[in-house]
Chain A
Amino acid sequence: MSQSAAGGEGAPQVLPEGKERQRKRRRRKKKESKTRLVRSSLLLPEVEPDKSKRTVLACNRLKTTKYTALSFLPKNLFEQFHRLANVYFVFIALLNFVPAVNAFQPELALAPVLFILAVTAIKDLWEDYSRYRSDKEINHMECLVYSRNEKKYISRYWKEVRVGDFVQLRCNEIIPADILLLSSSDPDGLCHIETANLDGETNLKQRQVVRRFLELDSEFDPLKFTSVIECEKPNNDLSRFRGYIIHKSGKKDGLFKENLLLRGCTIRNTEEVAGIVIYAGHETKALLNNNGPRYKRSKLERQMNADVLWCVLILLIMCLFSAIGHGLWVWQYGEKKKPIFDVPGPDGKYLSPVLASVYLFLTVIIVFQVLIPISLYVSIEIVKICQVYFIHQDKDLYDEETDSQLQCRALNITEDLGQVQFIFSDKTGTLTENKMVFRRCTVSGIEYSHDDNAKRLAMYQEPDSEEEEAAPKGGTLSQRDSICSHQSIKVIHRSQSTKTHRRTGSRAEAKRASILSKHTAFSSPMEKDITPDPRLLEKVNECAKHLEVMRSHEQPLTHLSPELCDVFDFFIALTICNTVVVTAPNQPRQKVRDRFELKSPVKTIEDFIRRFTPSRLTSGSNSSSSSSLATSKSMHRFGLSTLSSTSTDSTLLKLEEKLAYSAQMNNNGYSSQQGKMAVGGAPEEGELRYEAESPDEAALVYAARAYNCSLVGRLSDQVSVELPHLGTLSFEVLHTLGFDSVRKRMSVVVRHPLTDEINVYTKGADSVVMDLLLPCSSDDPRGKHQKKIRSKTQNYLNLYAVDGLRTLCIAKRVLSKEEYGCWLKTHLEAESSIENREELLFQSALRIEKNLHLLGATGIEDRLQDGVPETIARLRKAGLQIWVLTGDKQETAVNIAYACKLLDHDEEIITLNAESPETCAVLLEQCLQCVESKFSNTIDGATGSMTVGFTPLYPPSSSVLSSLGLVIDGRTLAYALEPALEDKFLALAKRCRSVLCCRSTPLQKSMVVKLVRDKLKAMTLAIGDGANDVSMIQVADVGVGISGQEGMQAVMASDFAIPRFRHLEKLLLVHGHWCYSRLANMVLYFFYKNAMFVALLFWYQFYCGFSGSSMIDQWYLIFFNLFFSSLPQLITGVLDKDVPAEVLIAVPQLYKSGQNMEEYQPHMFWMNMIDAMYQSLVCFFIPYFTYYDSEVDIFSWGTPIITIALFTIILHLAIETKTWTFLHWSSCIFSIVLFFFVALVYNASCPVCHPPSNPYWTMERLMGDPMFYFTCIISPVVALLPRFLYRTLQGTLFPTQLQLGRQLSKLSPETRTQLLTELNVKETICQTRLFADSFSPSLGSNASDCYKANNQSTPLPTSPQTRESLFREHAKAEHKTNQTVAASPPGAVLYEENKLPSSASSMERSMGLHEIRCGTSEVESLPVGTTFPWSSAVDQADFSLLKWITSTPLFSHIGTVLQVSSSSLQNETQDSMCVLGSSLHVDFKGLKEESSNNFQDKMKGTPTDHCKNDNSETTFL
């Protein structure tokens, strides 16, 4: 989708002068409030009427700091008090200052709150200081600003740049502000920028000088700039800029985003540019886009907050109870006989019982405040930061190749990783590499299978898998060299990036961008070295030869045979129908400057040669390479004429060499070819590099280059193509209609240099392009031929899709001058309009992209990333539902889904394709019924136009769920997501093991995620790599970005960024699980600890007349949580591992504990509370009875209690700790030692301090008392006995999965491996058995296969078909062709009929997707549940499939249903909806050899797994 984001940028703005007037007429009413006026700052002040207004504009100083030295304290405190907990604790602390209620020494009570506030403040201060330093560095970067006094550009700091200043930038400089481009050293007024810092896209983008300034003859002089620029107010939309420039003369020019240089980008390929600053500093688009870190609240935290509220409630109850108790206690003594220990108020009067209880209420709130854990929030923050640190440090999440590691962008949702239930994944770039490799193509109806290319690709797999070998093989040496050279470049590049990143204000982003540019800047050899298909290569050469002959004989091109013509055009289209920028290797980011003087179309090659002049070669660093290029070209051209006759041979020779050493090929056909053909051994120049906006484009250009049709240069209005025999042809590019996701295609309008015709080359999704073809009559032979070509191409397209290739159709249209002129008029209007320009351009594109002539189609492979199938399998075992949401077409998506084991061949697939909301509703209803009926063990649910190949024999069990897959296309998804249907859709999807949404838009993606998140209340994780996934990533609970090929938008929006999809496995299964279990345990422990501690005080209230007295010294009371008991729990929260990583990976099922919230269920809070109550009772009453009626004083009695409590709390943690490292040991010991140390020092420090407790010598005396030790030993034992016993019994009698996993890790490695193997075998057996029971590898035919095959030979009637007729046809055809087809796995595949490969010329293409008539609900039931003797069925000649189905008892239901539905079908003719079962395993060979009867042969070619193969064989025999 990067295409959509950046597609239009390269579009040249060819605006003839005459159109200016039109534009002026459409001048819109300006609204002062919505626009900004920018004038030159060089103008004298009196020329500026509204100076006051200008001062409002932001200067370029970057200030990301939050505080100043003065404002820090108040502002930081203010921010901290936004947290409710802080307010609460400060309130409590302040309450202590009220004498009537104070419980502690007021100053002391403030201490913990101040401590926590201070820690946070110091953290904030440090962060702010580092921001300040980086700001300072950026602000003091220098750039050239025009000075009025000096009359030249002088160096200034960035911070001094103001709006209206003129800035001059040189190559590789970073743009300091948003600048309107007014002049460029480029003769075409172009400027290339790299936006990696902004969006991570590393390709170069073109920017253009404002039109009128381009036409200036003299050099741009800022002093003469008197125009006023009116533009939008600053906004954060990177892809939009609108405004106009008003010249002194009153003329206006429109300004577009092509004219704007954005802050943070880097100037590339352009010597010098100058412009006026439009937005500066914080008003630049880059900074407006730079949002702060995101704050998400994790699920666990939400649950925790609920429990904190419970704690508040408990606290209030306890306080109320105490208050009432105290009231009664006071009341019982009456007015008269006041006891001597009841102290009256300072005025000597006793409080009334009511007033006393009110005061006491407040007092006990202070005393019991610990119940609301003050340190909980701080502790959780610390633990999460440490967890993030450890995730970050995991070397398994580091990708060697890209030198990138996992990045946590959200610090506070680590534990959510352990609770994910749904994964929503993008496909391209996420599951796949997004490294597009050209695989095969079809031109003019002939398929070129590129077998050698496939072999070559297979060879790349091996180095992938074998990691790195010590010494590179001889063959790959050259590759490595080239890689090395890239790296040296990257070093420079990176050092630039590290400097540049700061402008955008965010460090991490820039770092990532630099990695990214490192590995995406240039394609890997795998993508570049394409082995051409010999047949096609021959044709290309032949064609070129013809052309050469024709050129020399001045013959018109039409004499070429149509096929060769198509071949030629096909490659021209591949080469030029894109926005690829060519760069030379030795000068990174330098555009190849082989520009030739060209203002009018070139008629002939001679003309061309005449015009060839090196004068426009740019001077400077890259001139040498360009001139050498030019030289070699001229040499080449000379050589051509002499060598033309032998070139074919040499090419073939070359080809053979390539096949032999395909891995050795340093780069490509281009350079080697060049080397061979250039007579005189011209110095071999470095290869050209192609920088494309999307990898597909590059792949196609590289493919064309393999056929010697290389793109050698691209300028805004001209593309140079190097052709065999013909030399360099320059196409004048008239328009580029960029890719967008609505049109799903892009086009270029060029003037053909050979024919001087105006050609439109269109490249786009087959579904779209096929509908735009020129309708051809079936009458004339040419038209018939065309039709045949189309249907063949469509066939191949389908096969490509089935093979998981990305398909693109290439088409061409020849425009007459008149047509073009007519279109041009409207187009220019559209281009020049300021309002809804996009819309008009879109319309305009629609007008020219029609009546196309199909040239061919390409299949590009997007290889799966390493380990994707395994990862998906494990994640699924872990109980995660994986939904794939992709923009790809259905067939491609389905096949990738099979390839990555998302869909299983033994899985039944429900496919939903509906054309209207009504059908969608019906369909959903039926599917639901089907699925539900399955559970009631009946199959009568299979009704209507929908068939599901459910098995009646299959026992209803939960595992049934896992055998369903749902495939839904974008349009149906749109209907299904409507409020009326979403519940049904969800109900259905919930039951499916995997869901695949094809052709979905970014918005739909996010809607799906939102639906699941909100309706199912499930934890969702969205993973994606492109801009189209951003909304989905933002909506999901956990957003994961893949820092891959497609820029940084996804990463920017994500919470976690990982280098590869496979890293998700460890991230979720290990780290997610750990983080969740650690944090859950810690939170529970926290509640327990505080409750237990507070309960001690509460019990004491019964023995002190509910007076709010505490037996524990206030120092212990206040610092207990902060110092004595905090460290062990932090260590455990950070480092505890309930199950070792190996086991978690080996047994993914353990992940389910997190999903089910097993570690922290609501009842566990209460269990912990009850346990805390019990433990506190023990810890209170054992000392109570021990010291009952003794001479013990309060604090000599309280100190043992707190000691016991500390022991109990730490031992409790010890029971809960699963892994003991020396850190755990030392933290526990440290805590206890710290307590005694502090107590001893404190108790010996000051005889008169610390009123009222004055614990002088208490601890010292206690430690000399044996009773103290006896009490301290028995109490924790008694307190922890129940929990210890419970844990023991649970571990023995009802072990949880996690405990089993833990036990597994205890076993010796051999035993463990053995057990795990057994486990897996068991699983497989279990599956296979179920599978065998239910699906009984139903041999028989893959009905759709047959169907497809039939269609090739049997024309289908065009009229709407009923199912019966279709089946009959089908069966008949089957018999006729006697085609034995591969076994079909049970399952249902929906197939839109018009998508089926059909050679039937009667099939109207124009019906297309929009008006499918014949496709009305095909229902096909597949043999499932029984072993079906297909061969016999085939033998029975006149047996219709339907009859067979109905005759089979098991399927009688379906049969009837089918009949019923067939009648109902008639009503729904318009809304096509089709159903078919099965996954398609079609192999290309098999289809080519249509007559082949050999089943075994077919099976070999079938890309199913061997198991499948065996299954089929057995059954067949």
Chain B
Amino acid sequence: MAVNYSAKEEADGHPSGGVGVPGGGAVGGGGGGAVKTRKPDNTAFKQQRLPAWQPILTAGTVLPAFFIIGLIFIPIGIGIFVTSNNIREYEIDYTGTEPSSPCNKCLNVSWDSTPPCTCTINFTLEHSFESNVFMYYGLSNFYQNHRRYVKSRDDSQLNGDNSSLLNPSKECEPYRTNEDKPIAPCGAIANSMFNDTLKLYRIDNDTRTPITLIKKGIAWWTDKNVKFRNPTGDGNNLTALFQGTTKPVNWPKPVYMLDPSEPDNNGFINEDFIVWMRTAALPTFRKLYRLIERKNNLQPTLQAGKYSLDIAYNYPVHSFDGRKRMILSTISWMGGKNPFLGIAYITVGSICFFLGVVLLFIHHKYGNRNTSADIPN
């Protein structure tokens, strides 16, 4: 802060050495040259007479501000609201707590039950989804923002650092080693990775047509390409590169076998893994699972109609009253569907406008008083 102060001094063009030392701060400015007087410099800065704007907050002066805020906010709000309303969104809770739910049988699955408990949920889309559809899984009551949980990772290991791979950070405890082998990826976040498999079918006259779910491009580009990297070594054989490490406790397969279908999507750069590792801010969150691209311009991405969702139910949330959801949503420039901001803008704009009117009234009634009359003697 002291630094800032002197910066201010210099900005004014009157550097003075005596800021901190009263009594020594007199800068000689005597006209006589030889005779130094202690007379302080008559500069605007030192005499505190810098040109200044002195706003006075009265009804009269702030009126325009309220109207301007009102007039700007309401259109913005309407714009956001309309955009948000145009977003199609469909959500299925497949936790299976209700006995009627097809997934009820899987409610108490464990992490590594083989074969996985599967269930299918049929649903109907009332409206077609015109543009690209994003498929999310959502978790509720899942505290991914817990302080110890958030910390429980080793970024350098995930960045492909070979020494960290074999000797993960202490932060990963107690998911650092298993049976004297370092866990890759270590830590609680990785250990608790979401591992349900969702498949979407369109039911068209009792025929189930699988819908292509794209698993690339769901993670941040920077995460995929900069932050997360596989360990480097001779060759590209991930199995060899992860030699000497063990899989996280809850995982059925090691990290280099996450995506059997695509070799490039394995190891630390598996996009599902990357998405999971980006810990959610709030206990209710969704994470991008797959993309459904619009095929051509003639057909909507998802037509209105019947669909079924096949779930390989692996992820236990019942023990902590968690919920699992699958969400299908189109997105706009403002992201997913959320009417809140639009409503907020409209409300605030209206309030400001209303207050402007009230202030106008006050201004007319009280604003013209002779103010000095109020200064008592």
In the complex, whether A1251 has a CB less than 8 A from a CB of chain B is: yes
State whether B54 touches A1305 (Cβ < 8 A): yes
State whether A1326 touches B377 (Cβ < 8 A): yes
In the complex, whether A346 has a CB less than 8 A from a CB of chain B is: yes
8 Å CB contact of A1186 from B55, B223, B226, B338: B338
State whether B171 touches A1251 (Cβ < 8 A): yes
Give min CB distance, A1121 to chain B, whole Å. 10
Q: Within 8 Å CB of B54, what residues of A? A: 1140, 1218-1220, 1302, 1305-1306
CA distance A1270 to B59 in the complex (A): 27
In the complex, whether A1485 has a CB less than 8 A from a CB of chain B is: no
In the complex, whether B13 has a CB less than 8 A from a CB of chain A is: no
Give min CB distance, B285 to chain A, whole Å. 7
State whether B148 touches A393 (Cβ < 8 A): no
In the complex, whether B123 has a CB less than 8 A from a CB of chain A is: no
With CB as the reference atom, state the residue of chain B lying closest to A339: B320
In the complex, whether A91 has a CB less than 8 A from a CB of chain B is: no
Give min CB distance, B1 to chain A, whole Å. 5
With CB as the reference atom, state the residue of chain B lying closest to A400: B39
With CB as the reference atom, state the residue of chain B lying closest to A1057: B23
- Of B281, B366, B375, most buried by chain A (CB within 10 Å of CB) is B281
The interface size bin for chain B is: 35 or more
The proximity string for A residues 338-376 relative to B, scoring 1 for CB distances below 8 Å and 0 otherwise, is: 111111111110000000000000010000000000010
State whether B348 touches A398 (Cβ < 8 A): no
Give min CB distance, B87 to chain A, whole Å. 12
The proximity string for B residues 45-72 relative to A, scoring 1 for CB distances below 8 Å and 0 otherwise, is: 0111011111111111010000001000
CA distance A347 to B176 in the complex (A): 11
Q: Within 8 Å CB of A123, what residues of B? A: 2, 20
State whether A394 touches B338 (Cβ < 8 A): no
State whether B48 touches A1137 (Cβ < 8 A): yes
State whether B285 touches A389 (Cβ < 8 A): no
- Of B148, B191, B286, B333, most buried by chain A (CB within 10 Å of CB) is B148
Give min CB distance, A1506 to chain B, whole Å. 23
Given contact pairs A375-B1, A385-B19, A1270 touches B25 in the complex (Cβ within 8 A): no
Within 8 A of B (CB), among A1174-1206: 1182, 1184-1198
In the complex, whether B100 has a CB less than 8 A from a CB of chain A is: no
State whether B341 touches A1274 (Cβ < 8 A): yes
Given contact pairs A337-B319, A1103-B283, A407 touches B150 in the complex (Cβ within 8 A): no
Give min CB distance, A710 to chain B, whole Å. 34
State whether B151 touches A1252 (Cβ < 8 A): yes
State whether B363 touches A1292 (Cβ < 8 A): yes
CA distance A445 to B275 in the complex (A): 111
Q: Within 8 Å CB of B80, what residues of A? A: 1270
State whether A341 touches B286 (Cβ < 8 A): no
State whether A379 touches B143 (Cβ < 8 A): no
In the complex, whether B75 has a CB less than 8 A from a CB of chain A is: no
Given contact pairs A1186-B340, A1220-B52, A1223-B11, A1319 touches B375 in the complex (Cβ within 8 A): yes
In the complex, whether B37 has a CB less than 8 A from a CB of chain A is: yes
CA distance A1109 to B51 in the complex (A): 46
Interface stretch, picked from A148-156, A771-779, A1124-1132, is: A1124-1132
Q: Within 8 Å CB of A1089, what residues of B? A: none
Give min CB distance, B63 to chain A, whole Å. 9
With CB as the reference atom, state the residue of chain A lying closest to B174: A348
In the complex, whether B282 has a CB less than 8 A from a CB of chain A is: yes
State whether A340 touches B57 (Cβ < 8 A): no
8 Å CB contact of B24 from A338, A507, A1122, A1288: A507
CA distance A1270 to B349 in the complex (A): 13
CA distance A1211 to B345 in the complex (A): 19
Q: Within 8 Å CB of B333, what residues of A? A: 1266
Q: Within 8 Å CB of A386, what residues of B? A: 5, 19
CA distance A1109 to B145 in the complex (A): 7
State whether A389 touches B25 (Cβ < 8 A): yes
Q: Within 8 Å CB of B290, what residues of A? A: none
CA distance A382 to B25 in the complex (A): 16
Within 8 A of A (CB), among B6-40: 8, 11-12, 16, 18-20, 22-26, 37-40
State whether B1 touches A408 (Cβ < 8 A): no
With CB as the reference atom, state the residue of chain A lying closest to B377: A1323
State whether A341 touches B146 (Cβ < 8 A): yes
Give min CB distance, A68 to chain B, whole Å. 23
CA distance A831 to B284 in the complex (A): 96
State whether A1284 touches B2 (Cβ < 8 A): no
Q: Within 8 Å CB of A400, what residues of B? A: 39
In the complex, whether A56 has a CB less than 8 A from a CB of chain B is: no
Within 8 A of A (CB), among B104-155: 136, 138, 142-155
In the complex, whether A1014 has a CB less than 8 A from a CB of chain B is: no
The proximity string for A residues 1289-1332 relative to B, scoring 1 for CB distances below 8 Å and 0 otherwise, is: 10111010101111111100000000110110011001000000
8 Å CB contact of A1251 from B53, B144, B151, B344: B151
CA distance A1149 to B175 in the complex (A): 71
Q: Within 8 Å CB of A978, what residues of B? A: none
Given contact pairs A1104-B146, A1184-B282, A1277-B348, A394 touches B47 in the complex (Cβ within 8 A): yes
Give min CB distance, B145 to chain A, whole Å. 4
State whether B281 touches A1198 (Cβ < 8 A): yes
CA distance A1182 to B80 in the complex (A): 15
Within 8 A of B (CB), among A378-402: 378-379, 382, 385-386, 388-390, 392-395, 398, 400
CA distance A1291 to B63 in the complex (A): 13
With CB as the reference atom, state the residue of chain A lying closest to B345: A1274
In the complex, whether B359 has a CB less than 8 A from a CB of chain A is: yes
Interface stretch, picked from A282-290, A859-867, A1253-1261, is: A1253-1261
With CB as the reference atom, state the residue of chain B lying closest to A1217: B55
Q: Within 8 Å CB of A1192, what residues of B? A: 280-282, 285
State whether A395 touches B40 (Cβ < 8 A): yes
In the complex, whether A1436 has a CB less than 8 A from a CB of chain B is: no
State whether B375 touches A1107 (Cβ < 8 A): no
Give min CB distance, A100 to chain B, whole Å. 10
CA distance A337 to B110 in the complex (A): 12
With CB as the reference atom, state the residue of chain A lying closest to B338: A1186
CA distance A163 to B340 in the complex (A): 86
State whether B48 touches A403 (Cβ < 8 A): no
In the complex, whether A830 has a CB less than 8 A from a CB of chain B is: no
Give min CB distance, B370 to chain A, whole Å. 8
In the complex, whether B163 has a CB less than 8 A from a CB of chain A is: no
State whether B375 touches A1278 (Cβ < 8 A): no
State whether B348 touches A1267 (Cβ < 8 A): no
State whether A1266 touches B334 (Cβ < 8 A): yes
8 Å CB contact of B57 from A375, A403, A1109, A1288: A1288
State whether B150 touches A1109 (Cβ < 8 A): yes
State whether B250 touches A340 (Cβ < 8 A): yes
With CB as the reference atom, state the residue of chain B lying closest to A337: B319
State whether B23 touches A507 (Cβ < 8 A): yes
In the complex, whether B260 has a CB less than 8 A from a CB of chain A is: no
Given contact pairs A1291-B57, A1303-B56, A398 touches B40 in the complex (Cβ within 8 A): yes
With CB as the reference atom, state the residue of chain A lying closest to B160: A1248
State whether A1190 touches B23 (Cβ < 8 A): no
With CB as the reference atom, state the residue of chain B lying closest to A1149: B375
In the complex, whether A1226 has a CB less than 8 A from a CB of chain B is: yes
Q: Within 8 Å CB of B23, what residues of A? A: 392, 407, 507-508, 511
State whether A403 touches B371 (Cβ < 8 A): no
Give min CB distance, A893 to chain B, whole Å. 28
Give min CB distance, B134 to chain A, whole Å. 9
State whether A1300 touches B374 (Cβ < 8 A): yes
Give min CB distance, B48 to chain A, whole Å. 6
Provide a sorted-by-A list of 13 A–B residue pairs whose CB atoms are within 8 angstroms: A341-B192, A348-B174, A363-B147, A390-B46, A1105-B146, A1137-B52, A1185-B340, A1192-B281, A1194-B280, A1196-B281, A1251-B155, A1274-B345, A1293-B366
Q: A403-B39, A1284-B62, A1291-B59 are in contact. List 12 more A-B contacts (CB 8 A).
A: A341-B143, A343-B152, A386-B19, A398-B38, A1141-B48, A1149-B376, A1215-B57, A1251-B155, A1251-B171, A1270-B334, A1292-B58, A1326-B377
Name the 7 nearest CB pairs between A and B, nearest first. Answer: A339-B320, A1197-B281, A337-B319, A508-B23, A346-B173, A1109-B147, A340-B192
